[in-house]
Amino acid sequence: MGSALASDRAVYLPGTVRVAAKILVVGHFAVGKTTFVGSLSEIRPLRTEETMTQAGALVDDLRGTEDKTTTTVAMDFGRLTLSESLVLYLFGAPGQRRFTRLWRDMTHGALGALVLADTRRLEQSFPVMAVLEEHGLPYAVAVNHFQGAPRFAESEVREALDLLPETPLVTCDARDRTSSTQALIALVQHLQSRQARISQEQA
């Protein structure tokens, strides 16, 4: 692993790539999903941003992200070549709960998900994690740290989100490519060790 950090954002996939995996980037409204996919993608990310209007003001919680003017209405799409042989296709979900049906559809064919969370509203992560659990999709959690957001000990965040001991929990800055890559690597390592465990049990 590691070539993704050093390489330029290449348009074409290297011929050495053998495995392509669909990874979801999910989380509640305005947690930084579009920013995360945009920081990581080596191709120009596909975005489906629309301007937010007064109509959404009563339902969309903009606390802490008052500068935000657009929201994802379908999905974000990006690509990250993580090693010579592995490429990740990143699908960023829309954030509002009215898109729950789309979240379900997006789980099809996905290998795993990265749940972005914000310590100012951890409880808003539950509906997202519930959909993943309902579909048996393994996930890791990355706290996207916003300025002024409270910092809690890892054990406190784990307890608040009711995470299983094996679920990875990391902190990231979705605007930073290196930090976002580390979060994704935590998920990929989790998926690999989970797969190894399943194969061992089946042997």
Nearer to ligand GTP (CB atom), residue 20 or residue 73: 73
The contacts of residue 126 (CB under 8 Å, 6+ apart) are: 161
Element holding 73 (H helix, E strand):
none
Q: By the criterion CB under 6 A, which residues form the site for ligand GTP? A: 27, 29-35, 65, 67-68, 71-72, 94-95, 144, 146-147, 173-175
CB of 141 to Mg ion, least distance (A): 18
Q: Which residue is nearest to ligand GTP (CB)?
A: 95
Q: Counting contacts by CB under 5 A, is residue 96 touching Mg ion?
A: no
Segment near Mg ion (CB under 5 A); pick from 70-78, 108-116, 145-153, 174-182? 70-78
Rounded to whole angstroms, the maximal C-alpha distance in the chain is: 57
CB of 56 to ligand GTP, least distance (A): 10
Q: Cβ atoms within 10 A of the Cβ of 117, count?
A: 25
Confirm if 111 and 191 have CB atoms less than 8 A apart: yes
Bridge partner residues of 110 (DSSP): 22
Of residues 143, 118, 122, the one with CA closest to residue 64: 118
Of 33, 79, 177, 190, the one binding Mg ion by CB under 5 A? 33
Q: Counting contacts by CB under 5 A, is residue 35 touching Mg ion?
A: no
Which residues form the interface with Mg ion (CB under 5 A)? 33-34, 72
